[in-house]
Amino acid sequence: MKRLILPLLLLLCCLGKDIIAQELNFTVTVNAKQVGGTDQRVFESLQENIINFLNNRVWTNLKLEQAERVEGAIAITVQSYENNVISGQMNIALRRPVFNASITTPLFNYVDNDFMFEYIEGQQLDFNENMYMSNLSSLLAFYAYYSLGIYFDSFGLYGGENFFDVAEKIVNAAQSATEAGWKAFDGNRNRYWLLENMTNDAYKPLRQYYYEYHRLGLDVMGNGKVDNGRTAITKSLDCLKQVSSSKPNLYFISILNDTKRGEWKSIYSEGPQQEKTKAVNILREIDGSHAEEYEQLLNSKK
């Protein structure tokens, strides 16, 4: 990525301007192998429709270069299709480039099990952030803005605020939906709680973590200052510790653990023992079911 622009600067520069630029670049796959005896054209149509909806729509007033578009992947597994109603799972994975490096870092990896909607081949997807029009369009738009929120939080402190605000409008409008996933009482692991965990002021250190870990940590490491970057990453873990201590087993922290575990272990496979020890103590606390894996880092050599 040749140039990364801090979101707050983008917002200031672009405010009030009429700018047309697509912000998302998602790959989408629809797997309907579990559904036998069905014309696969409807699923091919669905896949193409989702790609167009996400990647060709203008979601913000920000001007991003091609290399700055938000990268992600959506994998849909169709489990049933009856009377034009599709149900299954949707896995969304978001990634971010590391400044001055040829690698990307995972930002968000989540499986939505409340994936159900009515769809007819060739159907056009309409969307209005203040109005519930269809479960599919609202669901996709929610994840578009949620992804933008996380992405821009990783470049500027609370830089994704405006996008989480729109995601909240979508959730509020979807309270009239008959499909699950939008309401607090639908369960404690759904879109409602995904948003709540990122907008509740009590959990705001989660968003601070995204900025410190990525912008002050990984980007600095990518710039060749490995020790300085790792020190900032270790400091960022205090944000997660703070939230975990006040709310053990918070939904989003469990998602973050699954998203970042491999990267955390890679980062702390090296480094000063004192720093490793501090990081491992925090990681064992917030990701207790994998404590033994983190313990092994204390025996790895610099």
Report the pLDDT value the prediction gives residue 300, as an integer from 0 to 100.
Answer: 74
With 60 as the cut, is the pLDDT of residue 71 above it? yes
- Give percent of the chain above pLDDT 70: 92
Report the pLDDT value the prediction gives residue 19, as an integer from 0 to 100.
Answer: 42
Spatial distance between the Cα atoms of 241 and 196, rounded to a whole number of angstroms: 19
Report the pLDDT value the prediction gives residue 7, as an integer from 0 to 100.
Answer: 43
Spatial distance between the Cα atoms of 77 and 92, rounded to a whole number of angstroms: 12
Cβ atoms of 170 and 129 within 8 Å: the answer is yes
Give Cβ neighbours of residue 89 (< 8 Å, ≥ 6 apart).
76, 77, 79, 111, 112, 113, 115
- Name which of 12-26, 156-170, 205-219 the model is least confident about: 12-26
With 70 as the cut, is the pLDDT of residue 14 above it? no
How would residue 302 be classed by pLDDT, with cut points 50, 70 and 90?
Answer: low
What is the mean predicted confidence (pLDDT) over 158-168?
A: 98
Q: Is 206 helix (H, G, I), strand (E, B) or coil?
A: helix
With 50 as the cut, is the pLDDT of residue 8 above it? no
How would residue 12 be classed by pLDDT, with cut points 50, 70 and 90?
Answer: very low
Report the pLDDT value the prediction gives residue 37, as an integer from 0 to 100.
Answer: 73
Q: Where are the domains of the chain?
A: 7-159, 206-299
Average pLDDT for the chain: 91
Enter the tokens of residue 117. 């909607």
How would residue 272 be classed by pLDDT, with cut points 50, 70 and 90?
Answer: very high
With 50 as the cut, is the pLDDT of residue 18 above it? no
Cβ atoms of 289 and 278 within 8 Å: the answer is no
With 70 as the cut, is the pLDDT of residue 4 above it? no
With 70 as the cut, is the pLDDT of residue 144 above it? yes
Strand order across the beta sheet in which 70-82 lies: 24-31, 70-82, 85-97, 104-118
What is the mean predicted confidence (pLDDT) over 207-234?
A: 97
What is the mean predicted confidence (pLDDT) over 169-179?
A: 96
| Span 92-103, pLDDT tens digits | 999 999 998 899
With residue 252 as reference, give the H or E element that holds it: helix 251-267
- Name which of 75-89, 119-133, 150-164 the model is least confident about: 119-133
Spatial distance between the Cα atoms of 84 and 49, rounded to a whole number of angstroms: 16
With 80 as the cut, is the pLDDT of residue 247 above it? yes
What is the mean predicted confidence (pLDDT) over 153-167?
A: 97
